[in-house]
Amino acid sequence: MKIRIIILTIIMLFCIAGCQLSFFKKNEMVKGTPEGLYSRGALEYQNGNYKKAREYFTRLREEYPLHNLAVLADMGIADSYFSDKGYFSDKAYVEAETAYSDFVNLHPTNENVPYAIYQMGMCHYHQIEAIDRDQTETVKARKEFERLVARYPESKFATLAEKLIRECKQKQAEHEFYVGEFYFTQKKYSAAMTRFEKIATDFANIGLDYKVEYLISETKIKIAEEEKLKKDNEAKKKAKEEKKAKEKQKTAPKQ
């Protein structure tokens, strides 16, 4: 009976030891190789666990900064911010844009630079507001897309960027038109003319040409009418002052 108890005790000790070894091996594997960290990060990303994916990519970059997978980890961090809808959207795009920009600056000759620049543009593109609001993000998005087309015209992302450049121009033109119409209705014709002429110069062939041409013509008429009215009023005022001066001379006592 005692021998049986001793044998059972030894078996249990071996089982416990085996479990402990297995546990440490698993922990070691997760902590271990760059390939392991990148694979886990990629898997978490595919499953939509962007925060967790970012943690693995960050560990890879920090623990193995000179490994070739560290470059892909940098891109993974940027993509995880961009795709993370659970993050505050505007903040996520800001973080993503910074990460993509860092990638371009740190790895200027990497084959993924065109993609990174395209994504920088998309970070701004997704923050574009309605035409009655500020268009700073539209301007920034267009700038990145134009940079991509200029630097990497043969890239497949340049083809996508060209379409988005036109969309950004359209949005800018519509904003200028909206503001110009507002000034026109408020009878601020000079300010309206500035907006309409900007559209004609900077955003030709966007789809507003006929409307803008008509409103420029109408605005010129209104400005001319204002100038004529102003001159007429000045002339009347001058005539009135001259008449008053003559009457004053007539009534003045003779010396």
Question: Does the pLDDT of residue 3 top 50, yes or no?
Answer: no
- The pLDDT-based confidence of 31 (bands split at 50, 70, 90) is low
**Residue that wins the pLDDT comparison between 27 and 99:** 99
pLDDT band at 254 (very low <50, low <70, confident <90, very high): low
pLDDT band at 239 (very low <50, low <70, confident <90, very high): confident
Q: What is the mean pLDDT of residues 21-40?
A: 65
Per-residue pLDDT, averaged over 55-68, amounts to: 96
- Each as own residue / partner, the long-range contacts of residues 119-122 (CB below 8 Å, 24 or more positions apart, any chain) are 119/78, 119/79, 119/82, 120/144, 121/145, 121/148, 121/161, 121/164, 122/82
Amino acid at 168: C
Chain segment 215-234, per-residue pLDDT in tens: 999 999 999 999 998 887 88
The pLDDT tens digits of the residues spanning 196-211 come to: 999 999 999 999 999 9
Q: Does residue 15 surpass a pLDDT of 60?
A: no
Q: What is residue 246's predicted lDDT score, i.e. its pLDDT?
A: 73
Alpha-carbon gap, residue 23 to 11, rounded angstroms: 18
Average the pLDDT over 2-10 and give the result: 35
